[in-house]
Amino acid sequence: MRNTDNLKRNNEIFTFHLVNMSFFSMLKHLISPLHKKNITGLKHSESFFLMNLGEPILFLKRFNLKSIGLFMWWSDENELNQFLRQETNKVFSENGWHIQMKKYRKWGSIREIDSAQISTHIKEPDGPVVAVTLARLKLSQTLRFTKWGKPVEAQVKSHSGKNLAYAAFRPFNTFCTFSIWKNEKEMQDMVNGRVPFKDGRDHKMAMVERTKKPFHFEFSTMRFVPLKEAGMWKGGSNFTKASRY
């Protein structure tokens, strides 16, 4: 079992929000991010429109143009709760879902969140895990990134070990992936494959290409342990199947 006392020792939390809102409200959040509004306790935020995994790039059904994804870094849970209680922020609690989580591992670097604490005492989580990748794309690499990234999307979409997954984008060059997995082993099976030379191949090939010539000028992939969830999304809830408090 996870030691929740250890999880609480570091007060910082991250959240990921999936929220239904009008197209124009979504645009407002993309243009004017929340962390620039002096919200108490909010250290950084990233906002995106959501993309359905595996759909063709130029098809309208790939894009969710009346919903938004937000990745947010908070000084502690109390500040998050204060934000959600405010009348002007009711959309976040009434029209969507969010998850609270602690970061336990990362690779790469994103300047705005590099100073976030990592719960290094969590070595091998025994339950659900959340994966978030954040990247600033080199526009010159857009076609190459699309070529190698699309097969990985399909691999994630069809994987039996994932509970929820989205790709997300903010114009013109910020990409994000968000996924919840049954456990770390299932996520690792997606990355490395269960059967050598059979599955996991698309992800491995994309990583080889990234090493040869980076797609991004900033890139970080992070893993989190879920603490708690709130709200509903697409008729579902409790995607991690357990509360960590």
- Structure confidence at residue 9 as a pLDDT band (50, 70, 90): low
- The pLDDT of 159-184, averaged and rounded, is 92
- The pLDDT of 82-111, averaged and rounded, is 95
> Is 46:30 a contact under the CB 8 Å cutoff?
no
First and final C-alpha spacing in the chain: 12
- What pLDDT is recorded for position 243? 43
- What pLDDT is recorded for position 202? 62
- Structure confidence at residue 211 as a pLDDT band (50, 70, 90): confident
Q: What angle do CA 57, 58, 64 make, to 5 degrees?
A: 80
CB contact set of 145 (below 8 Å; sequence gap of 6+) = 137, 215, 216
Is the pLDDT confidence value at 118 over 90?
yes
Higher pLDDT, 205 or 15: 15
- The pLDDT of 115-142, averaged and rounded, is 87
Q: What angle do CA 109, 74, 64 make, to 5 degrees?
A: 75
Is the pLDDT confidence value at 200 over 80?
no
Structural domains of the chain sorted by starting position, each given as residue range(s) with its CATH number in brackets: 4-231 (3.30.70.100)
Cα–Cα distances (Å) from 185 to 117, 152, 194, in that order, read 24, 18, 10
Q: What angle do CA 183, 187, 189 make, to 5 degrees?
A: 115
The position carrying tokens 């030379």 is: 197
Is the pLDDT confidence value at 225 over 50?
yes
- What pLDDT is recorded for position 205? 66
Is the pLDDT confidence value at 139 over 50?
yes
- What pLDDT is recorded for position 87? 94
Is the pLDDT confidence value at 157 over 90?
no
pTM over 0.95: no
SS3 of residue 5 by DSSP: helix
